[in-house]
Amino acid sequence: MNLIWMILISLQLSSAEHILMVTMGGTKSHKIPFWELAKGLIKKGHHVTFLNGFKADFHMEGLKEITPMHLVEFIQNYTDWDLVGARYAQKAPLSIWKALRYPAESCNSLLEADAQSGVTVTDDLLTQRFHLAIVDGAFPECALGIVHRLGLPFMFINTVGFYTGSLAMAGNPITYAVTPHVFTAFTETMNLLQRVENSLIHRLADILHMYYTNQVHDVLMKHFGASIPHPYALMQNVSIILQNGHASITNARPFYPNVIEIACIHCRPAGSLPLDLEEFMESAPAGVIFFSMGSSVRAANVPEEFRRLLVEVFSRLPQYHVLWKWDAGGSVNTAEHMAPRLTKTTHQNMSAVTKNVRLSGWLPQQDILGHRKVKAFVTHGGLLSMFEAIYHAVPMVMLPVFCDHDVNAAKAESDGYAIRLPLETITADKLYQAIIAILNNGQYKRKVQEKSQLLLDQITTPLDTAIFWSEFLMRHNDVSHLQSPVRHMSCFIYYSLDLIGISMLVIGGILIILSKILMYVWQHGNRRHLRHRRQNKYLKQY
């Protein structure tokens, strides 16, 4: 009987389910955690449909990618920016109003009907039967409209580790005194002025989020009708949040039990390198320096002055080999799921590169970071790159460019395994000295090794943890016992303003009564004193 019961449970746990994944993120790095979770779920027998704004890079059995052309074109045009040049010139890469338009305009692009067939993405999805939706916690508002239309339980993957918006909406406490906003360069330790600035930024961000969420709601009502709930109401019902962080490498935070940390879900041991790249690595006299600015920085848009600066710095390190991710064409595949392909890219202005430098439009980043010859990683400060460097215990020089890069770099520097250099004030000497410090000061290597050991010392892998909770939600559907009751409270009740008001009324009433009593006692005593004075004066006269 027990054997039959165990077989039935095993069949139930391994039953194939259909899962919908959605990210509205504007950079391809948002896809990577979803890819990894999809691979794990597919191995468990599930089927995954992945809706996003980037053309599919590879074929995976069990994975179907939906990339609406309107959304793909919108994101390509929107992100044709010069991130490094703007930062270098101390300017914003886009105006705040353009940034605020992204959620609503991308939503409209996603839901717009195909010009030829007249079919919308939602129409296509409604013909399928899903059991779960997994949505990016960054810009989830539009996707939640689709999820609501499909009537699915859903969970978030918070791809941006230091972003707290979706956590707050789910009822988790966000203490401004120790929670740096994702768009700052603060750490958990802030002085008075920094805490004031951080609190104001948090509040301003809440107001701006409300503004653009209302715009998204208008788009949803246009496509789904006026009865569609507000995205705020939808976000509050998130069942589980897979948080792309971990106390060892981000910040320790007070989470409700439906928040599960899965930092480095995409990290893996290094694999073998192509022969020519392996020879380049092994032939380095003192080691290898790896330089990459991630998938959101296009080499074609990098300012000439910054390019010359890099060429000069790397030429001053002849004893080291330098691997430089340089995509002259501006469009490169960043997926490590593809078969490795190395390209020797050239550029009309790259003739001055010295022999110790190798350029390539695509490089297998984790295989390189895990190589024994790599001594330093010069990076833009993207979260996934930072996690990979910690996983493989490689110290970093970080050149923050955009979005969460500054807060990532500030955390890495404060933890002692990286040096942060603002692009606004960078010089060839500063970058050279930073690289030399990373190479020659063993403290940076020791710190990153300590962090790596802490990150890896977990009861299960982040991927296994994410798979368990995805299947847990599909098994039970209702996980309200894990959710915070705070998510449905108003600010008035959450901050006990009603209690404070009643307390003030009670205290005020008591003070009024006491003042009346004291006034009565004082007046009564004063009258008695005057009577005594008059009596004494009268007696003295006689």
- Each residue's pLDDT tens digit, 151-190: 999 999 999 999 999 999 999 999 999 999 999 999 999 9
pLDDT band for 30, please (50, 70, 90 cuts). very high
Residue 491 CB burial class (10 angstroms; 0-12, 13-18, ≥19): exposed
Strand partners, 260: 242
pLDDT at 333 over 50: no
pLDDT band for 340, please (50, 70, 90 cuts). very low
DSSP string, 233-253: HHHTT--EEEES--TTTS---
Q: Distance between alpha carbon 115 and the CA centroid of its chain, in Å?
A: 34
CB-CB contact of 396 with 386 (8 Å): yes
Supply the mean pLDDT for the chain: 89
- d(CA 186, CA 184) in angstroms, rounded, equals 6
Q: Which residue has the higher pLDDT, 3 or 469?
A: 469
**Over 157-207, what HEC string results?**
EECCCCCCHHHHHCCCCCCCCCCCCCCCCCCCCCCHHHHHHHHHHHHHHHH
CATH 3.40.50.2000 assigned to 275-456 = yes
Please list, in sequence order, all residues whose beta carbon lies within 8 angstroms of the beta carbon of residue 279, skipping any fewer than 6 positions away.
Answer: none
Enumerate the CATH 3.40.50.2000 domain ranges in the chain, comma separated.
14-261+477-491, 275-456
Q: Which residue has the higher pLDDT, 57 or 217?
A: 217
Instruction: List the 418-420 sheet strands across, edge first.
Output: 357-360, 321-325, 288-292, 374-379, 396-398, 418-420
Mean pLDDT of 412-440: 97
CB-CB contact of 121 with 110 (8 Å): yes
Res 335: pLDDT: 40
pLDDT at 346 over 70: no
**Three-state DSSP class for residue 489:** coil
pLDDT at 336 over 60: no
Q: Which of 73-82, 102-111, 258-267, 365-374 has the lowest mean pLDDT?
A: 73-82
For the chain, the farthest-separated pair of C-alpha atoms sits apart, in whole angstroms, at: 128
Pick the CATH number of 14-261+477-491 from 3.30.70.890, 3.40.50.1820, 3.40.50.880, 3.40.50.2000: 3.40.50.2000
pLDDT band for 523, please (50, 70, 90 cuts). confident
Mean pLDDT of 412-437: 97
Q: Which residue has the higher pLDDT, 165 or 539?
A: 165
CB-CB contact of 235 with 166 (8 Å): yes
Res 343: pLDDT: 42
Res 337: pLDDT: 40
pLDDT at 241 over 70: yes
Cα-flanking dihedrals φ and ψ of residue 381, to 5°? 95, 15
DSSP string, 77-101: HHT---HHHHHHTT--SS-HHHHHH
Alpha helices by DSSP H, listed for 44-140, are: 69-78, 83-88, 96-111, 121-126
CB-CB contact of 177 with 196 (8 Å): no
* H-run or E-run covering 260: strand 259-261
Residue 427 CB burial class (10 angstroms; 0-12, 13-18, ≥19): exposed
Cα-only R_g, the chain: 30
Strand partners, 142: none
pLDDT band for 331, please (50, 70, 90 cuts). very low
Res 115: pLDDT: 78
Q: What is the tens place of the pLDDT at every residue in 3-23?
A: 554 444 444 445 689 999 999
**Percent of the chain residues topping a pLDDT of 90:** 74
CB-CB contact of 258 with 170 (8 Å): yes
CB-CB contact of 190 with 177 (8 Å): yes
Residue 1 CB burial class (10 angstroms; 0-12, 13-18, ≥19): exposed
pLDDT at 524 over 80: no
- d(CA 136, CA 134) in angstroms, rounded, equals 7
Q: Which residue shows structure tokens 């700052």?
A: 184
pLDDT band for 539, please (50, 70, 90 cuts). low
**Cα–Cα separations (whole angstroms), residue 435 to 247, 420, 428:** 27, 11, 11
**Three-state DSSP class for residue 336:** coil
Res 529: pLDDT: 65
- d(CA 494, CA 431) in angstroms, rounded, equals 48
- d(CA 71, CA 7) in angstroms, rounded, equals 45
pLDDT band for 492, please (50, 70, 90 cuts). confident
